[in-house]
Structures are given as structure tokens and as C-alpha cells.
Amino acid sequence: MPNPFLQVRFFFWLSRYRRLEGGIGFMMTEIGFTAGKIWKYLDKNGEVTALKLKSALGITNTVLYMGIGWLARENQVNIVEYAKGYKISSKK
């Protein structure tokens, strides 16, 4: 059973860290996790639209495009513009 005292200390530390860092560290972690989710989804499902990715992963537009940007910077995805938006696929 987890120690409640340690849980309280952890959440205190986390809230303090977010105030001190402006949440940047937390946001970078979220973007990294989202990039991983996007990569796994693309690897399994092939080319999809950004809208399909957003609805399948249940994330906001902002985090979606940050995650795609992360993968694009690492040269891990193909991004193709089409009439209604973008199609994204993984590079294999």
C-alpha cells in the first residue's frame, strides 16, 4: 500500500515545481508522451488525418500539433497537406 505521507509530499513538490518552472517541464513531458502515442497510432493504422488523430487520442489541437512537430523535428513522420487539412504517416 502506498505511503500517504509520501503521496502528499510528491503532490506538494509537483505543484511547487509547476509554479517555479511555469509548467514548462510538465508541458514538455506531456508533449513527449503525446508524440509517443501519435507514433504508435500511426505505426498501427498507417496514414491518417490530423482530425482522426485528435479524436482517436482524445487530445487538444495544441498538444496534437506540438506532438506532430516533435516527431517532424526528429524526421519520424510524413506530413502531406490536402484540401481539408493534413495527413500524417510514420516513416518506416
Number of structural domains found in the chain? 1
pLDDT exceeds cutoff 70 at 22: no
Domain boundaries, position 40? 25-90
Helical residues (DSSP H) of 1-92, grouped into ranges: 4-21, 24-45, 50-57, 61-73
Q: CB of 35 within 8 A of CB of 71?
A: yes
CATH of the domain at 36: 1.10.10.10
Give the pLDDT confidence of 40-84 residue by residue, as tens digits.
999 999 999 999 999 999 998 888 999 999 999 999 999 999 898
Q: How far is CA 49 from the centre of its chain?
A: 16
Please indicate, yes or no, if residue 4 is contained in any of the structural domains: no
pLDDT of residue 25: 63
Please indicate, yes or no, if residue 48 is contained in any of the structural domains: yes
pLDDT of residue 17: 52
Q: In angstroms, rounded to a whole number, what is the distance separating the alpha carbons of residues 91 and 20?
A: 38
